[in-house]
Amino acid sequence: MIKLGKKTHYALVAMFHLDRVAPKGTRVNTHDLSQRYDIPEQHLGKVLQSLGRAGLLKSVQGVQGGYELLKDLNEIRLGDVLEALGGKAAPAVREPHTILTLFPACYVQGLAHEVERNVVERVHAMRLTEVLSQFDLPESPNLEATG
């Protein structure tokens, strides 16, 4: 099983919003995103800053400031986001199946490492358009779609 952390989920929500919800050419601030998707503002702010430092988002200070995408989501890979958030970017793949105990340990380890390597490579290579194609964002009835 692959498990992506909360920071990755926050990043994907923000990038999806910037690409598909916010009107093109507008900036979205941390506070508005935080309230709309019920994400802790402080945590979301750190995530957005990391994405900005990695060159995935542009940050503009001031009254009309906020964040905007620097690239099309088809140009961004999930591995880019993972690396921006944590450096090493290896999703957790650590739940061995009990049937593996029937095989010699050396065989199981080699097989497990190869499967894990292939999965991690595939996950890292996924374009965000592919990742987000089935993405459901929580609806927020109290807030208008803001930019």
Residue pLDDT tens, the chain, 147 long: 567 789 999 999 999 999 888 888 789 999 999 999 999 999 999 999 999 999 999 999 988 889 999 988 899 998 899 999 985 545 554 455 555 555 555 656 666 667 777 777 887 888 888 887 766 555 544 444 444
Tell me if 43 is assigned to some domain. Answer: yes
> Cα separation of 62 and 137, whole Å?
28
* Radius of gyration (C-alpha) of the chain in whole angstroms: 18
Question: Does a structural domain hold residue 64?
Answer: yes
Structural domain contains residue 127? yes
Instruction: Give the CATH number for residue 66.
Output: 1.10.10.10
The answer to whether position 78 is within a domain reads: yes
Q: Residue 144: inside a domain, yes or no?
A: no
pLDDT of residue 103: 56
CA 44 vs. chain centroid, Å, equals: 12
Q: Is residue 137 part of a domain?
A: no
Q: What is the domain range of residue 127?
A: 2-132
pTM for this prediction: 0.71
- The answer to whether residue 147 sits within a structural domain is no
Residue 56: CB partners within 8 Å, gap ≥ 6?
15, 69, 70, 71, 76, 80, 81, 84
Residue 138 lies in a domain: no
Domain count for the chain: 1
